[in-house]
Amino acid sequence: MNQLAIRCRFRRLPFDNASMVTDSYRPESKTIAFNALKGACGTFLKDLKALPDDAFEKKFGVATRTVADIVYEVNLVNDHVGMVMRLEEPFTWPDEQWIKAPVGFGTKEIAIEAFEKSSERILATVEAFTRDQIEEPLKTDEGETTRFERCRFMTLHLWYHSGQLNFIQTILGDEVWHW
């Protein structure tokens, strides 16, 4: 057996390379895509719920976006990608550079409810596909991809904006990690 004297940085325990190779069960792409997206949606929702009511319409400067703007964009991306994944004709993407929430979308209650519906819709979409459908080629305006890659994009997009929500949370004085 090929022993490597590598130590885990956090636990300071030796392990060997041979034990890292396995032919046992490995999750399939659909499971990976669904669980990653579900986890990102759940974390984003926890971040939203932790923010105070007035944060949803608060502007921190001339060019900044509000929490409501961020949630609205996340919903648009999830809905647009979902339509592409279902082979539906997607809506035309808004022309403006930064997406802004429409009037009336700025309350915590409305933003959270809209996000919950959007995340339920995209998760149901992904769950309905087979592993083969998740992996098959999919044509988009940007070229060829797969549904798996679209799920990875949405997951990354959610985490990116989750970081923005965490930053806003700290600007508002909340130092607690809510997830």
Q: Please tell me the pTM assigned to this model.
A: 0.83
Do residues 151 and 34 make contact, with C-beta atoms less than 8 angstroms apart?
yes
Structural domain includes residue 53: yes
Structural domain includes residue 5: no
Q: How far apart are CA 36 and CA 139, in angstroms?
A: 23
* CATH number of the domain residue 153 falls in: 1.20.120.450
Over residues 7-52, the pLDDT tens digits come to: 434 444 444 455 445 555 557 999 999 999 999 999 999 999 999 9
Which parts of the chain sit beneath pLDDT 70? Answer: 1-26, 96
How many helices (H) and strands (E) are present in the chain, helices listed first?
5, 4
Q: How far apart are CA 15 and CA 11, in angstroms?
A: 11
Q: What's 152's DSSP letter? A: H
For the chain, strand residue ranges (E) read 6-7, 14-15, 137-140, 143-146
What residue numbers bound the domain in which 56 lies? 28-171
Tally of structural domains, the chain: 1
pLDDT of residue 10: 42
Nearest to 85 by CA among 130, 32, 140, 44: 140
